Structure 1
């Protein structure tokens, strides 16, 4: 058991540091803009919710490369990894066009929130600037998906940490102004992020050419146009993955849009709570990425018993750490909120949301790692259905009923933003149970097939298709 935990931890800690660097983009955005104005902080929360929904939905499609590369790496089929990487870059370019149009013309989405004109203008500008940086962000996700898929997360981590250093300096400059640049407030965060995204994309693509670890894949030794068979393979796995990401994050985004109706102060308190929850989420996500990589390698090598064992250990490890995080955060919640804002009204709005968010985090930990494990098996359709029912139905639908007290019989402590957070926690509990039961079924089937065939590759081997849902 300890050997498995060490293997997972060895891959998880670089992912964690890198993701903490990325999530720190949002933390410093919130902290800096919170000291600029409450209006800009609310616009940041609203704009970022929309951006994250679009970005993660598209990223989920591109990151189909990660489990595909992981299984190919375990099977030692290196030249095919290079071909898949080239096709993933074409896919990222096409998706960037779709995302750009959505974010550069955000009026239909902003209309849902019924925001006042001042908030509307700041949010609109924030989204238009981030739209320009979206192609670079997706290109970098191809690099990170490939590096993580072959078990080299440190190559991603180093760039993400360097990006954070640049982001802090650019944020301060663009938000508060100086050296001939006017103070931009919230939209200054978007400008800083766009600049950093382009730098990371360029460096990542150069490393794919120059680093020896990528040489066996021969990624850029030949030019190729989109291969429709491989594109179909990426999309067959990537579209349900992207839809799962979109369902998960859009449920949060629409929660922010509905909470905006309770006022700027409530929305700012929700933004702080969500931002801190995102920081906590980075640990289970990093364990999920690490576990998924090891499970994919084991599946590619047809070691299905090892894959099942690693999955169990990764889920248990993440849940144990999640319980520790929740206990510590509950005790320190006044200090945590105070670190975000000196505004007493915003602090009071965030305080009752933190305990509910910590329960949300525990269920989120469980479902996150389980979902990553299923992606290692290249299973995505059933998880998407589970997410849709749980997050949109139980989470968003239940949150609307509780938050707005639709039937007039909801306790006062579940009205407003608290109702939305409570329903979201329940939705993640339902999703986690559904995903875990599905993984047990899938992994048991693989183990039985491996026993019957005595380790011999058959037409049912996992590399013969992209999605194993049935």
Structure 2
């Protein structure tokens, strides 16, 4: 990251951050995308089983991994404030915390997975695929979490192109393992849907190995000497990470888990409806990579400027990010409306599933505008290290408004399964409005800071 003087310079630097992050996030999501599409060409039971397993896994993993996203704004502010000596010890402690979180999630999963799946009205084949998927994906929990820390470290230094290249390597690796394990090619056993979980876990380990090699050898990162010496546990640093990371992680968890909850509640409908919902949800999640990547770029750019107390520049970056997200949202809505049928055909050739999925996909189009506001705004707020309000608003919007409204519509009106989509859209819209207000309020406080009326941000230790 470098200090910029003009809007054109900021645009260039922002999109220099965003584009590699977007490619990185899309590549990470590609594993879930290919798992779903390839399972759909095995059977509807495999597709539904992967849908259930992936939904539970995504909600839990993104929530806990979201805690580690505190690395990005903290390192960005250290660099902006010229406190580079703090970076390496901070990253080491974040890695320790990542391993601890990984062990916790494996332990909790071993206890809770059977109870979660038993509570759902699933066909035997679907239950078997979902259970084996969740068991096998646990192999990749720890490497994924450590990789998240290392990726955030590299991104915070503005080296998003390098993390992009690392993640791009994951696509052919994952596809190769899927080809072998899901379909039983090249002498491997045909494992069907849950073979995708083994493929993803193996891919996570490969990504971690590549990241460690790059950080050790690349001069941009080697100068920080992250892996040069062993450091003991420093729980004060853990507390620093958790203070920022828990609200971020919980905010992401409440947002992603509500989609998992809807998938679970969808189990009251037939297998075709579950599969159709997963198709629309999966494609919507693919499009979500754009505002989410913009949010990550905003965390880096706003964090860098806020760390240097250049609050006007931080505000300009936030407007650039939100504006870009809205432009992409209009584009995506157009794509869904025009090519609805073609999009669904990528996932399945089953006529019955297609018909239901096309209807769900139109609801996914409505997500785009609210996502284009709520998600980048959260990224900007994280750059300011203002995370608690995002957590509370996400909890209330999704679990206090969206899910209850969806449940009522799905079970007590004629909307059926579509009611859940209507509820989620309503909750997201409420979150977008409130978060935008919070950002404007925070920027006004910072404007007063520039005038010397108050000091909002405290110096980092």
Which aligned pairs between 1:318-467 and structure 2 lie closer than 5 A? 318-405=325-412, 410=413, 412=414, 414-416=415-417, 418-452=418-452, 461-464=457-460
CA 1:84–1:453: 2 relative to 1, 3 Å: farther
The equivalent of 2:190 in structure 1 is 183
2:58 is aligned with 1:57: no
* TM-superposed deviation, 1:383: 0.9
Give the conservation status (yes or no) of the 8 Å contact 2:140–2:205.
yes
The equivalent of 2:139 in structure 1 is 132
2:175 is aligned with 1:168: yes
The equivalent of 1:216 in structure 2 is 223
| Residues 223-248 of structure 1: CA deviation (Å, up to 9, x unaligned) | 11221211111000111111111100
Give the conservation status (yes or no) of the 8 Å contact 2:272–2:353.
yes
* TM-superposed deviation, 1:222: 2.2
1:464 aligned counterpart, secondary structure: coil
- TM-score, length-scaled by structure 2: 0.96
2:235 is aligned with 1:228: yes
Instruction: Tell me the distance in 2 between the aligned counterparts of 1:172 and 1:321.
Output: 33
Instruction: Tell me the distance in 2 between the aligned counterparts of 1:184 and 1:197.
Output: 19
Instruction: Tell me the distance in 1 between the aligned counterparts of 2:162 and 2:119.
Output: 40
Q: Pick the aligned partner of 1:12 from 18, 24, 45.
A: 18
Give the conservation status (yes or no) of the 8 Å contact 1:71–1:300.
yes
Which aligned pairs between 1:5-84 and structure 2 lie closer than 5 A? 5-84=11-90
1:404 aligned counterpart, secondary structure: helix
Instruction: Tell me the distance in 1 between the aligned counterparts of 2:267 and 2:195.
Output: 22
* TM-superposed deviation, 1:6: 2.4
User: Cα RMSD over matched residues?
Assistant: 1.5
Q: Pick the aligned partner of 2:123 from 116, 127, 130.
A: 116
* TM-superposed deviation, 1:120: 1.4
* TM-superposed deviation, 1:258: 0.4
Q: Which runs of 5+ in 1 are unaligned?
A: 466-470
2:231 aligned counterpart, secondary structure: coil
Give the conservation status (yes or no) of the 8 Å contact 1:71–1:463.
no
Instruction: Tell me the distance in 2 between the aligned counterparts of 1:53 and 1:321.
Output: 25
Instruction: Tell me the distance in 2 between the aligned counterparts of 1:432 and 1:15.
Output: 22
* TM-superposed deviation, 1:453: 7.0
* TM-superposed deviation, 1:462: 4.1
Instruction: Tell me the distance in 1 between the aligned counterparts of 2:458 and 2:164.
Output: 29
- TM-score, length-scaled by structure 1: 0.94
Instruction: Tell me the distance in 2 between the aligned counterparts of 1:346 and 1:390.
Output: 30
Give the conservation status (yes or no) of the 8 Å contact 1:133–1:197.
yes
Instruction: Tell me the distance in 2 between the aligned counterparts of 1:464 and 1:443.
Output: 19
1:94 aligned counterpart, secondary structure: helix
Of 227-236 and 201-210, the range deviating more from structure 2: 201-210
Instruction: Tell me the distance in 1 between the aligned counterparts of 2:273 and 2:387.
Output: 36
Give the conservation status (yes or no) of the 8 Å contact 1:360–1:426.
no
* TM-superposed deviation, 1:4: 2.8
| Residues 400-451 of structure 1: CA deviation (Å, up to 9, x unaligned) | 111112xxxx3x3x222x1111110111110011111111111211221232
Q: Which runs of 5+ in 2 are unaligned?
A: 1-6
Which aligned pairs between 1:257-296 and structure 2 lie closer than 5 A? 257-296=264-303
The equivalent of 1:468 in structure 2 is none
Of 116-125 and 379-388, the range deviating more from structure 2: 116-125
1:64 aligned counterpart, secondary structure: helix
Instruction: Tell me the distance in 2 between the aligned counterparts of 1:103 and 1:181.
Output: 28
* TM-superposed deviation, 1:340: 1.2
Give the conservation status (yes or no) of the 8 Å contact 1:272–1:350.
yes
Instruction: Tell me the distance in 2 between the aligned counterparts of 1:198 and 1:267.
Output: 31
Give the conservation status (yes or no) of the 8 Å contact 2:179–2:185.
no
Give the conservation status (yes or no) of the 8 Å contact 2:332–2:368.
no
Give the conservation status (yes or no) of the 8 Å contact 1:24–1:164.
yes
Give the conservation status (yes or no) of the 8 Å contact 1:79–1:218.
no
Instruction: Tell me the distance in 2 between the aligned counterparts of 1:452 and 1:31.
Output: 56
| Residues 228-284 of structure 1: CA deviation (Å, up to 9, x unaligned) | 211111000111111111100110000000012111100000010011101111111
Give the conservation status (yes or no) of the 8 Å contact 1:300–1:462.
no
